[in-house]
Amino acid sequence: MIGIAVLGSTGSIGESTLDVVARHADRFRVVALGAHRNVEKLLGQCRRLMPEVAAVADPQAARQLDSRLRFEGLPTRVLGGEEALAEIAALPAAHYVMAAIVGAAGLHSTLAAVRAGKRVLLANKESLVMGGALLLESARASGAEILPIDSEHNAIFQCLPPEAERGRAPRGVRRILLTASGGPFLDWPREALESVTPEQACAHPNWAMGRKISVDSATLMNKGLELIEASLLFGLPADRVQVLIHRQSIVHSLVEYLDGSILAQLGSPDMRTPIAHALAWPERIASGVEFLDLVKAGRLEFTSPDTVRFRCLALAEEAARGGGLAPVALNAANEVAVAAFLEGRLNFVGIAAVIEPVMARSWGGPTRDLEDVLAADREARAVAEALLARPGRLRGACA
């Protein structure tokens, strides 16, 4: 029986993971769950799955969960605080770790899982964007397997030669073609983007996702972060990773080879497919996903992204080319700006307007250790918050 720890169990990826695991109860067992503060949902998962441990980053929420579990006589042990997530990531009983905590908050626990030599199902792209070199070096040292869960990176992984190593350029590959749905505003004129509401930005046409990643998809920053992740994970320079707009979200990504061949992975837009693939790899198991009907799907269309209207993608491409700590600063500024947008303190086009001056600073220093990453993250957040406090300095944004 394979023990699994699910970090971010109350989010959409976490819930999809638990759905796939439940379909194969003879093979997998959930030994640990981790979340930020959603006590109600985590309590329900504990009732159903009876994990050994539940970790809650928010200490007050951890105390609430512990009290309710003890009142119901459930055996799950509760750990509280940020370190608790890293503790369950390294739990001996957890052979596989689903790393699905959103944003920079997931870096510490993902790194703990890698250092513990786990099979890490990586759904937290920000971990690689921020600490790519650290994660890949730690995986080589510990023997950890990093299997991508983002639908695009999982598709690329499926299309690469079986001997390909994470972080090293695969032989015979010319470039990676990373597909993007384009989000809900692909055809909107620039002036209309200024009045976009959080509710509109979170209404993705193809995928069911959390609010932050939905906004990232709408700005195309999500694709920019994925470009950085792909470059690091598959060992190719950023100029050999090309973004294509593919509205149907059926072709999840493609790999072009030197002989002119292009291999693609297709499927219904459902995250249970990459989750099932990574859980059973190199085998294949049922995921519960509706099978793709190509006749019903009809046409498959591809276009180039507009990086003038969607400036966030261009900024991410610049960060990928710059390397060093630039991707750390990009991610930090984006998290601050997206939070401000969701809170009504910033308009939609203001997200890029916050990120751009942050990225204009010098972020070319080396990433020697985790403290370098965290220091750059703190500095970029401080600069972004200062810009939000003085909205008149944001070019192109409406205060």
CATH of the domain at 332: 1.10.1740.10
The answer to whether residue 277 is domain-embedded is no
The answer to whether residue 396 is domain-embedded is no
The pLDDT of residue 366 is: 74
> What whole-number percentage of the chain has pLDDT above 70?
97
- Closest C-alpha among 112, 82, 84, 83 to residue 97: 112
CA separation for the pair 144, 170 (Å, rounded): 19
> pLDDT tens-digit profile of 327-360?
999 999 999 999 999 999 999 999 999 999 999 9
> Are 295 and 190 members of one domain?
yes
> Are 170 and 317 members of one domain?
yes
If one compares 68 and 102, the residue with the highest pLDDT of the two is 68
> Are 52 and 101 members of one domain?
yes
Structural domain boundaries enclosing 348: 323-388
> Are 80 and 39 members of one domain?
yes
- Closest C-alpha among 163, 182, 32, 158 to residue 92: 32
The answer to whether residue 274 is domain-embedded is no
Bridge partners, 34 (sequence order): 7, 55
Q: pTM of the predicted model, to two decimals?
A: 0.91
The answer to whether residue 399 is domain-embedded is no
Q: Is the pLDDT of residue 11 over 70?
A: yes
> Are 258 and 184 members of one domain?
yes
The DSSP-derived string for 237-259 is -GGGEEEEE-TT--EEEEEEETT
Residue 54 DSSP SS3: strand
Average pLDDT, the chain: 93
Structure tokens at 292: 């793709």
Bridge partners, 175 (sequence order): 256
> Are 247 and 309 members of one domain?
yes
For residue 192, count other CB atoms closer than 10 A to its CB. 11
Lowest mean per-residue pLDDT among 119-128, 202-211, 285-294, 338-347: 202-211
Q: Is the pLDDT of residue 175 over 60?
A: yes
The answer to whether residue 155 is domain-embedded is no
The arithmetic mean of pLDDT across residues 176-190, rounded, is: 93
CA separation for the pair 384, 394 (Å, rounded): 10
> Are 265 and 355 members of one domain?
no
In this prediction, residue 365 has a pLDDT band, given cuts at 50, 70 and 90, of confident
Q: How many domains does the chain divide into?
A: 3
The answer to whether residue 276 is domain-embedded is no
Q: Are 280 and 272 in contact (CB under 8 A)?
A: no
| Element of type H or E holding 341 | helix 326-342
The answer to whether residue 140 is domain-embedded is yes
The pLDDT of residue 376 is: 94
Q: Are 216 and 180 in contact (CB under 8 A)?
A: no
> Are 251 and 312 members of one domain?
yes
The pLDDT of residue 340 is: 96
Which residue among 90, 121, 148 closes a domain?
148
- Closest C-alpha among 114, 55, 123 to residue 90: 114
> Are 316 and 171 members of one domain?
yes
> Are 212 and 307 members of one domain?
yes
The pLDDT of residue 399 is: 43
Residue 171 DSSP SS3: coil
Structure tokens at 10: 């109350």
In this prediction, residue 76 has a pLDDT band, given cuts at 50, 70 and 90, of very high
The arithmetic mean of pLDDT across residues 153-164, rounded, is: 95
Q: Using alpha carbons only, what angle is made at residue 293 by residues 161 and 206, rounded to the nearest 5 degrees? A: 80
The answer to whether residue 157 is domain-embedded is no
What CATH number is associated with residue 134? 3.40.50.720
